[in-house]
Amino acid sequence: MNSSQLIQRQSPRAILILATSILVACGGASSNGNNTPAASTPDSSATTPIIPTIPKGGLPTGWKLVWADEFDQDGLVDANKWDYDTVANRSGWYNHELQYYSRARLENANVNKGVLNITALKESLTTAADYGGQSYTSARLLTKGKASWTYGFFEIRAKLPCGLGTWPAIWMLGSTGTWPDNGEIDIMEHVGKNKGQILGSAYSNYYNWANGTGNTKSTTVPDVCDNFHNYQLRWEADQLVIGVDDQYYFQFVNAKDGDNKKWPFNAPQYLLLNLAIGGDLGGAVDDKALPQTMQVEYVRVYQP
Protein backbone atom coordinates (compact mmCIF):
# COMPACT_ATOMS: atom_id res chain seq x y z
CA MET A 1 0.00 0.00 0.00
CA ASN A 2 1.14 3.60 -0.49
CA SER A 3 2.01 5.95 2.37
CA SER A 4 -1.41 7.63 2.46
CA GLN A 5 -3.13 4.28 2.72
CA LEU A 6 -0.80 3.27 5.53
CA ILE A 7 -1.59 6.43 7.47
CA GLN A 8 -5.32 5.82 7.11
CA ARG A 9 -4.97 2.25 8.36
CA GLN A 10 -2.70 2.89 11.29
CA SER A 11 -2.64 5.22 14.25
CA PRO A 12 -0.27 7.68 15.83
CA ARG A 13 2.40 5.10 16.69
CA ALA A 14 2.44 3.75 13.17
CA ILE A 15 2.34 7.23 11.64
CA LEU A 16 5.37 8.34 13.59
CA ILE A 17 7.37 5.41 12.34
CA LEU A 18 6.30 6.19 8.78
CA ALA A 19 7.06 9.90 9.10
CA THR A 20 10.19 9.75 11.24
CA SER A 21 11.55 6.24 11.02
CA ILE A 22 14.90 7.13 12.57
CA LEU A 23 13.36 8.48 15.77
CA VAL A 24 12.83 6.70 19.05
CA ALA A 25 9.17 5.77 19.49
CA CYS A 26 6.59 3.98 21.67
CA GLY A 27 3.63 1.68 21.08
CA GLY A 28 0.28 -0.18 21.20
CA ALA A 29 -2.97 -0.11 19.17
CA SER A 30 -6.66 0.73 19.37
CA SER A 31 -9.74 -1.38 19.77
CA ASN A 32 -11.57 -0.23 16.66
CA GLY A 33 -8.76 -0.98 14.25
CA ASN A 34 -8.42 2.67 13.22
CA ASN A 35 -5.62 3.73 15.52
CA THR A 36 -2.69 2.70 17.68
CA PRO A 37 -0.70 4.81 20.14
CA ALA A 38 1.87 6.73 18.21
CA ALA A 39 5.50 5.84 18.21
CA SER A 40 7.13 8.84 19.72
CA THR A 41 10.26 10.76 20.46
CA PRO A 42 10.75 13.85 22.60
CA ASP A 43 9.97 16.96 20.52
CA SER A 44 10.53 20.19 22.40
CA SER A 45 9.04 22.27 19.60
CA ALA A 46 5.69 20.45 19.86
CA THR A 47 5.21 20.47 23.61
CA THR A 48 4.34 23.23 26.03
CA PRO A 49 7.13 24.20 28.45
CA ILE A 50 6.52 23.08 31.99
CA ILE A 51 4.94 25.91 33.98
CA PRO A 52 6.87 26.41 37.24
CA THR A 53 3.65 26.58 39.25
CA ILE A 54 2.35 23.22 38.01
CA PRO A 55 1.20 21.24 41.06
CA LYS A 56 3.65 18.52 42.02
CA GLY A 57 2.89 15.37 43.94
CA GLY A 58 0.31 12.65 43.66
CA LEU A 59 -3.41 12.57 44.36
CA PRO A 60 -4.97 16.07 44.35
CA THR A 61 -6.40 17.10 47.70
CA GLY A 62 -10.07 16.30 48.10
CA TRP A 63 -10.39 14.07 45.03
CA LYS A 64 -12.31 10.82 45.55
CA LEU A 65 -11.92 7.30 44.18
CA VAL A 66 -14.55 6.69 41.47
CA TRP A 67 -13.26 3.48 39.82
CA ALA A 68 -10.61 0.91 40.62
CA ASP A 69 -9.39 -2.60 40.05
CA GLU A 70 -7.22 -3.94 42.86
CA PHE A 71 -6.91 -7.35 41.14
CA ASP A 72 -7.88 -9.14 44.33
CA GLN A 73 -9.64 -12.13 42.72
CA ASP A 74 -7.51 -14.81 41.09
CA GLY A 75 -8.24 -16.02 37.56
CA LEU A 76 -9.39 -14.06 34.54
CA VAL A 77 -9.79 -10.30 34.83
CA ASP A 78 -13.15 -8.93 35.98
CA ALA A 79 -15.45 -9.03 32.94
CA ASN A 80 -17.47 -6.16 34.39
CA LYS A 81 -14.41 -3.92 34.11
CA TRP A 82 -12.32 -5.22 31.20
CA ASP A 83 -12.73 -6.48 27.66
CA TYR A 84 -10.16 -7.94 25.27
CA ASP A 85 -9.07 -6.28 22.03
CA THR A 86 -8.64 -8.86 19.26
CA VAL A 87 -9.86 -6.86 16.25
CA ALA A 88 -6.69 -7.03 14.15
CA ASN A 89 -5.57 -10.59 14.82
CA ARG A 90 -6.45 -11.90 11.39
CA SER A 91 -5.30 -8.86 9.42
CA GLY A 92 -2.19 -8.28 11.51
CA TRP A 93 -1.53 -5.66 14.16
CA TYR A 94 -0.30 -2.16 13.47
CA ASN A 95 3.34 -1.12 13.09
CA HIS A 96 4.20 -4.63 11.91
CA GLU A 97 3.80 -5.90 15.48
CA LEU A 98 4.17 -9.64 15.78
CA GLN A 99 1.73 -10.69 18.50
CA TYR A 100 -1.64 -12.40 18.47
CA TYR A 101 -3.87 -10.89 21.19
CA SER A 102 -5.88 -13.63 22.87
CA ARG A 103 -9.28 -13.40 24.54
CA ALA A 104 -9.94 -14.69 28.08
CA ARG A 105 -6.85 -16.88 28.04
CA LEU A 106 -5.12 -17.34 31.38
CA GLU A 107 -1.75 -17.93 29.77
CA ASN A 108 -1.75 -14.33 28.48
CA ALA A 109 -3.79 -12.42 31.06
CA ASN A 110 -4.43 -13.58 34.59
CA VAL A 111 -4.78 -12.30 38.12
CA ASN A 112 -2.69 -14.06 40.75
CA LYS A 113 -2.17 -13.03 44.37
CA GLY A 114 -3.23 -9.45 43.84
CA VAL A 115 -1.35 -8.82 40.60
CA LEU A 116 -2.52 -8.68 36.99
CA ASN A 117 -0.07 -10.46 34.69
CA ILE A 118 -0.08 -9.68 30.96
CA THR A 119 2.32 -12.19 29.43
CA ALA A 120 3.83 -12.52 25.97
CA LEU A 121 4.77 -16.04 24.87
CA LYS A 122 6.63 -17.55 21.93
CA GLU A 123 3.89 -19.74 20.46
CA SER A 124 1.43 -19.93 17.55
CA LEU A 125 -2.30 -20.43 18.17
CA THR A 126 -2.90 -22.02 14.79
CA THR A 127 -6.30 -23.42 15.82
CA ALA A 128 -7.75 -20.02 16.74
CA ALA A 129 -10.52 -18.89 14.38
CA ASP A 130 -8.91 -15.47 13.91
CA TYR A 131 -5.30 -16.65 13.76
CA GLY A 132 -3.27 -14.41 11.48
CA GLY A 133 0.03 -16.27 11.27
CA GLN A 134 1.60 -14.79 14.40
CA SER A 135 4.43 -16.54 16.24
CA TYR A 136 3.77 -14.80 19.57
CA THR A 137 0.77 -14.38 21.85
CA SER A 138 -0.08 -11.64 24.33
CA ALA A 139 -3.10 -9.71 25.63
CA ARG A 140 -4.60 -6.28 25.26
CA LEU A 141 -7.17 -5.21 27.85
CA LEU A 142 -9.47 -2.20 27.61
CA THR A 143 -12.38 -0.61 29.46
CA LYS A 144 -14.21 0.49 26.31
CA GLY A 145 -17.94 -0.03 26.69
CA LYS A 146 -17.55 -0.62 30.42
CA ALA A 147 -15.95 2.54 31.84
CA SER A 148 -14.73 5.86 30.48
CA TRP A 149 -13.96 9.20 32.06
CA THR A 150 -13.71 12.90 31.31
CA TYR A 151 -10.96 14.34 33.54
CA GLY A 152 -9.49 12.68 36.60
CA PHE A 153 -6.35 11.48 38.31
CA PHE A 154 -5.31 8.07 36.99
CA GLU A 155 -2.72 5.94 38.79
CA ILE A 156 -1.52 2.57 37.56
CA ARG A 157 1.11 0.75 39.60
CA ALA A 158 3.12 -1.54 37.36
CA LYS A 159 6.38 -3.38 36.79
CA LEU A 160 7.49 -3.59 33.18
CA PRO A 161 9.14 -6.25 31.02
CA CYS A 162 12.55 -5.46 29.56
CA GLY A 163 13.27 -8.27 27.11
CA LEU A 164 14.32 -7.16 23.65
CA GLY A 165 11.26 -6.72 21.47
CA THR A 166 8.81 -5.95 24.30
CA TRP A 167 6.56 -2.90 23.95
CA PRO A 168 4.20 -2.39 26.94
CA ALA A 169 1.78 0.54 27.10
CA ILE A 170 -0.73 2.15 29.47
CA TRP A 171 -2.87 4.62 27.51
CA MET A 172 -6.26 6.13 26.69
CA LEU A 173 -8.39 6.76 23.60
CA GLY A 174 -11.54 8.75 22.95
CA SER A 175 -14.70 6.70 23.42
CA THR A 176 -16.32 8.01 20.22
CA GLY A 177 -15.06 9.11 16.84
CA THR A 178 -11.75 8.18 15.23
CA TRP A 179 -8.13 9.01 15.77
CA PRO A 180 -6.76 11.65 15.81
CA ASP A 181 -9.93 13.73 16.20
CA ASN A 182 -10.94 11.99 19.43
CA GLY A 183 -7.50 12.36 21.03
CA GLU A 184 -5.07 9.96 22.67
CA ILE A 185 -3.22 10.09 26.00
CA ASP A 186 -0.24 7.80 26.54
CA ILE A 187 0.37 7.51 30.28
CA MET A 188 3.31 5.12 29.88
CA GLU A 189 5.17 3.54 27.00
CA HIS A 190 8.46 1.64 27.10
CA VAL A 191 10.47 -0.64 24.83
CA GLY A 192 12.94 -3.25 25.98
CA LYS A 193 15.75 -2.00 23.78
CA ASN A 194 15.61 1.38 25.58
CA LYS A 195 15.47 0.10 29.13
CA GLY A 196 14.36 2.73 31.60
CA GLN A 197 13.16 5.33 29.08
CA ILE A 198 9.50 6.12 29.83
CA LEU A 199 7.45 8.22 27.44
CA GLY A 200 4.25 10.20 27.92
CA SER A 201 2.27 11.71 25.05
CA ALA A 202 -0.89 13.53 24.04
CA TYR A 203 -2.18 13.49 20.46
CA SER A 204 -4.90 15.36 18.63
CA ASN A 205 -5.80 16.27 15.06
CA TYR A 206 -3.20 19.06 15.16
CA TYR A 207 -0.59 17.50 17.44
CA ASN A 208 0.44 14.25 15.79
CA TRP A 209 3.38 12.78 13.96
CA ALA A 210 1.78 12.88 10.52
CA ASN A 211 1.80 16.68 10.86
CA GLY A 212 5.32 16.76 12.25
CA THR A 213 3.89 18.00 15.57
CA GLY A 214 4.28 14.95 17.79
CA ASN A 215 3.70 15.81 21.44
CA THR A 216 5.89 13.59 23.63
CA LYS A 217 8.29 13.89 26.56
CA SER A 218 10.46 11.26 28.21
CA THR A 219 11.93 10.54 31.61
CA THR A 220 14.36 7.92 32.89
CA VAL A 221 13.45 5.34 35.52
CA PRO A 222 16.39 2.91 35.65
CA ASP A 223 14.67 0.10 37.59
CA VAL A 224 11.35 -0.09 35.71
CA CYS A 225 11.83 -3.82 35.17
CA ASP A 226 12.90 -4.61 38.71
CA ASN A 227 10.39 -2.66 40.80
CA PHE A 228 6.83 -1.40 40.70
CA HIS A 229 6.28 2.29 39.96
CA ASN A 230 3.22 4.54 39.90
CA TYR A 231 2.40 5.81 36.40
CA GLN A 232 0.13 8.82 36.69
CA LEU A 233 -2.07 11.15 34.68
CA ARG A 234 -3.74 14.28 36.04
CA TRP A 235 -6.28 15.45 33.46
CA GLU A 236 -8.35 18.59 33.93
CA ALA A 237 -10.12 21.12 31.73
CA ASP A 238 -7.08 23.41 31.79
CA GLN A 239 -4.29 20.90 31.22
CA LEU A 240 -3.11 17.34 31.45
CA VAL A 241 0.13 16.25 33.06
CA ILE A 242 1.84 12.86 33.05
CA GLY A 243 4.34 11.57 35.58
CA VAL A 244 5.95 8.74 37.50
CA ASP A 245 5.98 8.38 41.28
CA ASP A 246 4.49 11.82 41.98
CA GLN A 247 6.91 13.65 39.68
CA TYR A 248 5.45 15.10 36.49
CA TYR A 249 7.63 15.35 33.37
CA PHE A 250 5.02 16.06 30.66
CA GLN A 251 2.48 18.87 30.48
CA PHE A 252 -0.03 19.83 27.80
CA VAL A 253 -1.98 23.06 28.34
CA ASN A 254 -5.41 23.82 26.90
CA ALA A 255 -5.09 27.00 24.83
CA LYS A 256 -8.84 27.54 25.27
CA ASP A 257 -9.21 28.93 21.78
CA GLY A 258 -12.13 26.64 20.93
CA ASP A 259 -10.08 24.62 18.45
CA ASN A 260 -11.03 20.96 18.96
CA LYS A 261 -8.23 19.92 16.61
CA LYS A 262 -5.75 21.07 19.24
CA TRP A 263 -7.67 20.12 22.40
CA PRO A 264 -10.14 17.23 22.05
CA PHE A 265 -9.66 16.31 25.71
CA ASN A 266 -13.08 17.46 26.89
CA ALA A 267 -14.86 14.17 26.18
CA PRO A 268 -14.72 10.64 27.65
CA GLN A 269 -11.73 8.37 27.11
CA TYR A 270 -11.27 4.71 27.99
CA LEU A 271 -8.18 2.95 29.31
CA LEU A 272 -5.99 0.29 27.66
CA LEU A 273 -3.26 -2.00 29.00
CA ASN A 274 -1.25 -4.07 26.51
CA LEU A 275 2.05 -5.76 25.79
CA ALA A 276 3.03 -5.70 22.13
CA ILE A 277 5.93 -7.65 20.66
CA GLY A 278 8.38 -6.50 17.98
CA GLY A 279 7.23 -4.20 15.24
CA ASP A 280 8.68 -0.98 13.92
CA LEU A 281 9.36 0.34 17.40
CA GLY A 282 9.79 -2.83 19.43
CA GLY A 283 12.42 -4.06 17.02
CA ALA A 284 14.11 -7.44 16.97
CA VAL A 285 12.78 -9.96 19.47
CA ASP A 286 14.97 -12.09 21.69
CA ASP A 287 13.02 -15.33 21.71
CA LYS A 288 15.24 -16.71 24.47
CA ALA A 289 14.07 -13.89 26.75
CA LEU A 290 10.42 -14.96 26.49
CA PRO A 291 8.07 -15.23 28.24
CA GLN A 292 7.92 -11.59 29.33
CA THR A 293 5.28 -10.09 31.63
CA MET A 294 3.91 -6.69 32.50
CA GLN A 295 2.59 -6.80 36.06
CA VAL A 296 -0.04 -4.40 37.42
CA GLU A 297 -0.88 -4.13 41.12
CA TYR A 298 -3.80 -1.77 40.70
CA VAL A 299 -5.60 0.75 38.52
CA ARG A 300 -7.25 3.68 40.33
CA VAL A 301 -9.25 6.60 39.02
CA TYR A 302 -10.09 9.68 41.12
CA GLN A 303 -12.20 12.75 40.37
CA PRO A 304 -13.04 15.95 42.28
Which of 70, 123, 184, 236 does the annotation list as catalytic?
A: 184
236 is catalytic: no
| Residue 275 phi, psi dihedral angles, 5° rounding | -130, 100
Q: What Cα–Cα distance (Å) separates residue 188 from each residue in 133, 177, 196?
A: 29, 23, 11
Answer for the pair 85, 272: CB distance below 8 angstroms, yes or no: yes
Which of 123, 189, 236, 297 does the annotation list as catalytic?
A: 189
Q: What Cα–Cα distance (Å) separates residue 114 from each residue in 153, 171, 220, 226, 251?
A: 22, 22, 27, 18, 32
* Amino acid (one-letter) located at 276: A
Answer for the pair 185, 153: CB distance below 8 angstroms, yes or no: no
Dihedral over Cα of 139, 16, 180, 304: its sign: positive
155 is catalytic: no
Q: How is residue 79 annotated by DSSP?
A: T
CA distance 219 to 41: 11
| Residue 57 phi, psi dihedral angles, 5° rounding | 100, -170
Strand spans (E) along 139-246? 140-142, 152-159, 166-174, 184-189, 197-203, 216-220, 229-235, 239-244
Q: Which residues are catalytic?
A: 184, 189
